[in-house]
Every structure is written in C-alpha cells, then in structure tokens.
Structure 1
Amino acid sequence: MVEEILRKLQPYFERIPSVERPKQHVPFRQKLAWTVGILILYFALTNVPVFGLDPSSIDLFAQFRALFAGAGGSILALGIGPIVTASIILQLLVGAGIIKLDLTKPEDRAAYQDFQRFLVFVMIAFEALVLIFSRSMIPNAQIAAQLGVPLSFITFLIFFQLFIGGVLIVYMDEVVSKWGIGSGVSLFILAGISQAIITGLFNWVVPPNSQLPAGIIPRWVWIAQNYGANVLSADGLMFLLIDGGVLALITTIAIIFLVVYAEGTRVEIPLAHAAVRGARGRFPIKLIYASVLPMIFVRALQANIQIIGMMLYQRGITIFGEYVGSQPVSGIMYLLSPVQSPYDWVPALVKTNPIFADLPDWMIILRLLIDATILIAGGILFAIFWVETSGMDAKTVASQIAKSGMQIPGFRRNPQVIERLLERYIPKVTIIGGAAIGVLTLIANMLGTIGNVSGTGLLLAVSIAYRFYQDLAKEQLTEMHPLLRRFIGEEV
C-alpha cells in the first residue's frame, strides 16, 4: 500500500532539482578541483553566522557536533543531520517491512532514492523548526526593535537561513558525490573532526571557569610552569593523565592504529575475466565491511531522542528528564545520553561537576551500560540495514561481478553461484564488523579523545581518511586503465 503511494508520487519527487550527473568520465584533476572547491566553500559557510540570533542561544547539537558537521550558530547549524535522519527513517521503514521495496530491482531502488531525497528536504524544515521551538535558537528582540519589525519576522528569518544552509549542504554533497572524490557527507565530517583535533592540540585559549588552556600542548606547558616536580606525585600523575590530556592522546593514537589495522583486515575472493585471458583481480570483503557509517546512524538516533527530550523540557514536561543548557542531568534522557569521557562514567569524576554532585553511583554505571548496549547492538543492526540498502549485499555484488565479465576461478559463471559463495562471508563479516566498531567506539568514548571529538567522531575521521586515500589511488588507477571503470560501474 505504502509503496504504491510512493510510486504514484515518484514523478513529483523527480521534479526536485538535483545536480546533473556527468555524461562521461570526469578526469582525476577535475574531480580533485571540485572536491577542494566544495571543501573551501564548506569552511566559508561555517563562518557565516545566522542573522538575528540572540547571544543566549545554545548549540543543541553540541554533544554531536563532530558527527553532524556544520557549526553551531552558523547557517550550517543543521549540518548533515537531516540527511542522516532521513536515511535512518527510510532504513527502519524498509527493514521493518512497512515499505516493501526490493532494492535489488532498479525501479524500486529509484523509488527509494527519490523518496529519500524528498524526505531530506522535509527533515531540513522539521529540524530547523525544532531548533527554534526548543528555544535553542532564540530571536534577538533588540534587532527586531532596531529594524521596527515584529519578533516573529526575525524568527522566520532564522528559519529561512537554517533551511537555506541545509539545502546548500545537500547540493554540496551531490556535487562531491557526482563530480568529486568520495562523498560530501564524509568530506564534511572529516573536515570538522580534523579541525577539532588540531584545535584540541594547539588551542591556547582558556575556557570560562577553567585554569587550563583548551589545547593539550598548552596544558602541558601550563602544568610544567605551575606544578614543577609535584607532577611526579601520584595525584600529579593522575592530574596529568586525565586533565593534562595524556590519556586522550594515547587513546587517540591507539584508535587510529586499530582502525587502520581493521580496515586492512579482509577476505579476498579471487576473480578472473571470462574473455580476457590473464586478466585477474580480487574482491575484498573487509572486516569493517559496512564501514563506520552505522555509528553515524546510532548517534543520530540518540541525538534526535535528546532533541525531543529538550523540546518537552522547554514546554514544562520534565517526566523524561531535566536539562542544563543542552546537557540532560536527570531521568531517562540522562541515561540515553552518550558517554564521551571519563568525566561521564567514573563516579568520582562525574561528581566533580556540581550539577551531578547528588547523582547516585548506580545511575552513572547504568548510563554506561545502556550506552554500551546501544553502540554494540545498534552497530550490528544498522550495519545490516546499510549493507542491504546500499547495494553491498551478496546478491547485488554477485550481479555486479557477473556484469563486469569477471568470474570466480573454479566456479561456473553464474550470479547465483557467486552469490552463494559471497553469502558465506558477507553476512557474518557485517555482524562482526558492526559489533567491533561499537566496541571501539565505546572504548574511545570511555577514555576520551583529543578535542573531545568523541569515539564515534574519531573512528569516522580515521575510516573516512583511509577510504579517501583508497579513492584517490583508485581514481589515479582508472586514469591509467579505463577498462577498470567498467568493473566499478562507471562508463568509459
């Protein structure tokens, strides 16, 4: 029933303007130019503030900023949130069988993609309204008085700017995906997290209500100047480890090596071309087969739950929890909020914050256990959904291999035969990889990371950077061997 409605509405969804795909192969240098150009534009837009915003406004996505990209208070405040949320909704609807689409069929996949595109624009408007009605983005009454316009007009201007920023993110993502290298969403996440890590290392600014500089290296200088030999005592070493950022630095370096190792761990299926003698290749099935993208969906789901909780709190409904700024401090919303550092799960450290001074220890530990369950179970669930909806399942991959003219030596050249062989590996690797990414994210969150980018953000940055390097190598290779473009699904 639902899918029939979607097909009837599909002609209207197709009318939504989109970036035209290149009609022929785009040279590597041109792709690189488009990617760099969009990246520069992205950084420029994150520095364009929303006009009419009151200084008391808060960044509702502060806890998830490394994940959602964009910048609080700018016209890109929504970041990639609407794109991720729309993808989550559709994956859940298709996975639950509410929308019955066979994504291995071209017509069903087209209907899925067209509806997802429409849903992204709906979510841009919805999330912009949420930021306004949750009182996160407050219109400036003084500006309204100076311009002689009602406050509702300033509110509309804020909504309009947020909507335009969300639309720009969508089209910038399309430009990179179709004309550049990789995807725009991954590029924006990598850019934001890299910036946060560099700032977390070298920032000399001292935050309010703190004696220590924000950056790790400036902190070490401050500690050396103020602690001297006392830093070698038990308390001094603990202070250096936690507050000095040494633990965060060690965790960050360890996670980088672990993710690179996991990305390189794979099962390789040998391939041979049926018509070209001597032409051989391999199809790699990586341990992290679904990448770390499932973690985006997990954290995005948590972010949307927190947004709903804050909206209810702003309306005087406190049964689900209370908030201080954008931080939940009680109730189920506190238990569902992500752990991001030792100050979120070690009771003695949690209670150094006056807000949590009276919080019972069992509630702190329960929050950690819930977050661990969400990360591991969510990583597996969304990894399965992602593989099934992105064309990485055994049936789709087998069809692509067969169409490229390749076959597995020793087996008949038949998509069903290839599919049965891939079924031995892909489902198992998907589950193991999803759980492994959940565990790595949990460990990184528990120990802390440079720049407070969170374990999710760090894993995303490393995985995206690794795959971006692979994409660069692949682009250069296809420039030398145009026949390879047929194997990866591009037109020569």
Structure 2
Amino acid sequence: MSWKDTAEPVLTRMPSVERPDRHVPFKRKLAWTAGVLVLYFFLTNVFLFGLERGAGSDAFGRFRSILAGGQGTIVHLGIGPIVTGSIVLQLLGGANLLGLDTQNNPRDQILYQGLQKLLVIAMVVLTGLPMVFAGNFLPASETLAQTFPGGTFGVNMLMFGQVFVGGVLILYMDEVISKWGVGSGVGLFIIAGVSQRLIGGIIAIEALPGATLGIIPAYIRMALGNLPVTAENLFFGFQSGSGQISGILAIITTILIFVIVVYAESVRVEIPLSHARVKGARGRFPVKLIYASVLPMILVRALQQNIQFIGQLLNSQASLPAWVGAYNAQGQPISGLFYYLAPIQTRQDWMWFVTTPTGSPEVWQILLRVAVDLTFMVIGGAIFAIFWVETTDMGPEATAQQIQNSGMQIPGFRQNPGVLEKVLERYIPQVTVIGGALVGLLAVGANMLGTIGGVSGTGLLLTVSITYKLYEEIAEEQLMEMHPMMRQMFG
C-alpha cells in the first residue's frame, strides 16, 4: 500500500473553498477581492486578547512587509506558514518523493491540494507554538494571568488559539481569492502591506499611531527650520524620534526599482505559433525575462527568516557560543554565524563610511556579510525559480503539452509535443535562471540603498511585479467579458 492510499481519507476530506461551476462575472470577482481585502485589513487591527501590549519582540522583524501580517494581531503569522509549506512541498516535489502527477491525474491533483493545506496547518502550529510559549515574542499579560484559569499557561493557550485561527483564515482567504477573485490572496496581502508602508513613508505624520514621519512633512519641517538641514540628511536620510526618515537616495532607489521591474516584465522572447487547422490563425508564446515571476523570491526570504527565527529562539532559551551568534537587546544578531547569515536590510547594516552598523563590526565582517547575502539571494533566486517553474507546470514539457492541446504549433516544425519541448528547452531553462538571479540581485541592491518607508527591497520588487501581473489579469478579464469567444479560447 502506497502513502497515497494511506493519506487519501485525510487529504480528500480537508475543508476547501468550492470552485465556481460556471464563469464568474468580472464585477463579482472584484467584489470578492475587495471583500477579502477589507477583511484582511480588519484582522490586522484585531490584537490578540491576553497579549501584553508593547512588550516582546517581532520574530519576523524586517521580513514583516513580505510576510504580510500584523505584529501582535490575530494574523500575526501572515502568509509565513503558506510560504514555508510551499518550500517543503516544492523540495519534496523537486526530489520526486511524492510521486504525484498533478498535470494529468485528477486524483493526484486532489491529494496535492489536500497535502498543501495539511502542511500549511502544520506550519501554523510549528511556528505559532514557539512564538507564544518561548522567546518572549508574544508575552502573556501578567494582570490577566492572575485571574485567568490556568494562569500564564492558560493565557498562552488562548493566544495560541487565536494565532491558529488567524493562520487558517489567511489560508482560506487566499483560496477564496484564487477561485472567486482576481489574482491570488498571497500577492494581494503583500501589495496591501507594502503599499500601506510606502504611502505612510511619503505622507505620514507623527500624530498617527506608530507612524514614522513621511518625506513630505519632513521636508516641510526642514524648510521651516524645525529639522536639521545638511547634505547628508537630505541625501541619505536621518534618524528622528519617530524612526528613520527617507532621503533622496531612497526616492531614487524606489523609482529605479519600479522602472527596472516594469521594463524587465516587458523584455521577452516571443515564439511564433500558428493554428494547425485554421489557416491564418497566428499567435506568439512569450518567454519573459522574469519568466518565473518574482514570487519565488518570497521562498528565499522566508527561508532566511526561518533561519533567523531559529537563532532568536535559541538565543532566548540559552546562552549561545560566540561563534554561533551574539544578539543585542532588540534581538538582532551582532556577531557569529547568525550575523553572517542575516540579510542586509538597511543602509545602517553596511554603510560604515556614513553610519555606524549595528554592533560596530569590522569592515571585513561587513563585506563578508554582504557577500553571503548576495550569494544566498542570487543562487537561491535561481534555484527556487527553477522549482517554481517545474511545480507550476510552466516548464518546457508542460508548456509544450498545453500548446499541443490548444491546437497550435510552431511554424516549420512538426506538430508533436516532443518537438515543441525541444524548442522551448532552448529558452525557458536559461531565462528562468537568469531572471531568478536578476531578481535576487535587485532585492539585495534595493535593501542596501534603502527605499521609501523602509520597505524591504524584496517587498518592493514583489509589489511592483504582482501589481503589473494583476493589471494584465484585469485587462484579460475585461477582454473576455467583452468577447465571450475569447473566454472559450482561454479556457
């Protein structure tokens, strides 16, 4: 008996959002998308009952904008469990340990979806438990613990229950958008979180709760003489009582990332196609420079975040050897192995000639950390891009079969999936690796130079790329609404 037969009763009974049995009108898709987005913003403002407000540290730190959650809220975990579950599933699928044919076998498709949900729920438990019960990430309120049944343990269990519910809600909200809305929930939540920080970095004032002074109010105060005006402050930004205020360099970096990503999305190799039976019916199959999209970069950053979370957890439970890692009061590594594995997040992490990096490491230590981060992101981006292409049926074999099933062929070549696959193998694998490495390089560069609102480079890349693809999907939906025949062609 295979593992499929053993696990099938459980995996096939995993709760799921019913797929629509007919075409969903575009306006209804927008309504579902907007409704889930409003619910997401509401949940990011529902703080955990029993949590001691203002205490503890954020285990996700500067990864928060990518993982799309709210510190100390019911959606504290954000999309972290979904991403970590995807990493595990991709590694298992890439090593061919699952033996699932998700392309041609309907039973295997159901098992794959059920296994994905089960892994995400397991990651919610494995991530939420140590955050609540260890490491002082979500400390229980001592006042409530004195009267609550079970004391501190009872309050911790109550908070874990809320975190668990929030993680499951994010999972099914993502599924609702994927089946009934526009785009994906994971992408939408990232856009929502990053856009909120970008807008805040431009116009926020200190009177807003938890806000850092935005660029426009800061420059107005400089003009009025209420803030110091120096060339260094204007270009690099500076630290104020409310946080880091962005400078001209951050504005230039943000605009440059927008331009580069939009340009890279438009760079493509177009393979000509013609219909085998309908004379004159022609088309093109585009192989974009960022063929695997920017989404695999979430997996790379999530892997880094999990490594850092393990370091923080170990540091909170025991005194680590100096070579493993030393941490400051804010829970950030300042030396040792975990310091070198920590990604560069801001200019203050490496600009020893302008600012004093945290922990005041030697110049060679800073350069080594930059080299490790750059290598991790470039190589990791390429590897996860390959995994992404293969597991989402975007590889040469799956794409050739899709073109064959649509009745199209490459002019001058026989109408055969094997022939199509050989042609596609000239482009897809190479472009996938180059695109994944390029995205990793851009993410590190944006982090090193800084962006508006302190948004991470990866978060900014993801937002621009996902927004661009969302625009393309909306345009496609509108086209199919206008021409029902187009809907049949797109399936």
Provide TM-score, normalisation by structure 1: 0.92
* Aligned pairs for 1:64-463 within 5 A: 64-106=63-105, 107-132=107-132, 133-147=134-148, 149-205=150-206, 214-226=213-225, 231=229, 236-243=230-237, 244-319=246-321, 320-323=324-327, 324-351=329-356, 353=358, 356-357=359-360, 359-463=361-465
Question: 1:321 is matched by which residue type in structure 2?
Answer: G
2:350–2:357 Cα contact (<8 Å) kept: no
Matched, 1:5 2:3: yes
Give the counterpart letter for 2:390 in structure 1. E
Q: Matched residues in 2 for 1:326 and 1:352: separation? A: 15
Secondary structure, counterpart of 2:477 in structure 1: helix
Q: Match of 2:29? A: 31
Q: 1:349 to 1:438 in 2, by over 3 A?
A: same
CA contact (8 A) 2:351 2:357 kept: no
- 1:192 maps to a residue whose letter is G
Q: Distance in 2 between matches of 1:170 and 1:471?
A: 22
Deviation at 1:352, TM superposition (A): 6.0
Structure with a larger share of its residues in helix:
1
Task: Kindly provide the amino acid, as one letter, of the partner of residue 290 in structure 1.
Answer: A
C-alpha deviations, 1:89-113, integer Å up to 9, x for none? 1212232344454554435454333
CA deviation digits over 1:13-51, x for unaligned, max 9?
Answer: 110100000111111111111111111111111111011
Name the counterpart of 2:240.
none
Alpha-carbon offset, residue 368 of structure 1: 0.7
Q: Give the distance between the partners of 1:352 and 1:459, measured in 2 at CA.
A: 25
Instruction: Call closer, same or farther: CA 1:41–1:63 in 2, change over 3 Å.
Output: same
2:18 aligned residue (20, 25, 31): 20
User: Deviation string for 1:108-147 (max 9, x for gaps)?
Assistant: 4543332122101110111111211222011111112244
1:156 maps to amino acid: M
Question: Deviation at 1:195?
Answer: 0.5
Give the C-alpha shift of residue 202 in structure 1.
Answer: 1.3
Distance 1:461 1:213, change over 3 A: closer
Contact 1:295 1:456 in 2 (8 A): yes
Please say which of residues 457-466 and 93-102 is displaced more in the overlay: 93-102
Partner in structure 1 of residue 243 of structure 2: none
**1:481/1:412 CA distance change after superposition, 3 Å:** farther
Cα distance in 1 between the residues matched to 2:10 and 2:301: 32
Say if 1:7 and 1:111, in contact at 8 Å, map to a contact too: no
Deviation at 1:464, TM superposition (A): 0.5
2:268, 2:288 within 8 Å by CA — same for their partners in 1? yes
Shift of 1:482: 3.1
2:44, 2:355 → 1: CA distance? 32
What is the alpha-carbon distance in structure 2 between the residues aligned to residue 360 and residue 200 of structure 1? Answer: 31
Distance (Å, rounded) in 2 between the aligned partners of 1:459 and 1:254: 11
Moved more, 407-416 or 438-447: 407-416
* Aligned-residue identity in percent: 51
Q: Which residue of 1 aligns with 2:41?
A: 43
Counterpart-to-counterpart distance in 1, 2:482 and 2:309: 49
Counterpart-to-counterpart distance in 1, 2:467 and 2:173: 19
**Is this contact kept in 1: 2:253–2:449, CA < 8 A?**
yes
Aligned length: 477
Query: Residues 328 and 337 of structure 1 are in contact (CA less than 8 Å); yes or no, is this contact kept in structure 2?
Result: yes
- Matching residue's letter, 1:442: V
Task: Say if 1:174 and 1:184, in contact at 8 Å, map to a contact too.
Answer: yes
Match of 1:479 in 2: 481
- Note if contact 1:404-1:486 (Cα within 8 Å) is conserved in structure 2: no
| d(CA) in 2 for partners of 1:368, 1:6 | 44
Deviation at 1:10, TM superposition (A): 2.6
- Residue ranges of structure 2 left out of the alignment (5+ in a row): 238-245
CA distance in 1 between partners of 2:315 and 2:292 (Å): 36
- CA positional deviation for 1:197: 0.4
Instruction: Write out per-residue CA displacement over residues 286-317 of structure 1, whole angstroms, 9 at most, x where no aligned residue.
Output: 00000011210110000000111111111114
More deviation, 20-29/343-352: 343-352
CA deviation vs aligned residue, 1:232-261 (integer Å, no higher than 9, x gap): xxxx21221111521111100011000000
Helix, strand or coil: the match of 2:224? helix
On the 8 A contact 2:67/2:79 being kept in 1, the answer is yes
Between the aligned partners of 2:453 and 2:343, the Cα distance in structure 1 is 16
Could you tell me how far 1:329 is from its partner in structure 2? 2.0
8 A Cα contact 2:148 2:155, kept in partner: no
Q: Secondary structure at the match of 1:329?
A: strand
Aligned partner of 1:304: which letter? N
Residue 283 of structure 1: SS of its match in structure 2? strand
Q: Deviations over 1:387-424 (max 9, x none)?
A: 00011001111111111222222222222221111111
Contact persistence 1:206–1:213 (CA under 8 A):
no
Amino acid at match of 1:134: G
- Please give the alpha-carbon distance, in whole angstroms, between the structure 2 residues aligned to 1:10 and 1:325: 46
Structure 1 stretches lacking a partner, 5+ long = none
CA gap of 1:487–1:337, structure 2 versus 1, over 3 A, is farther
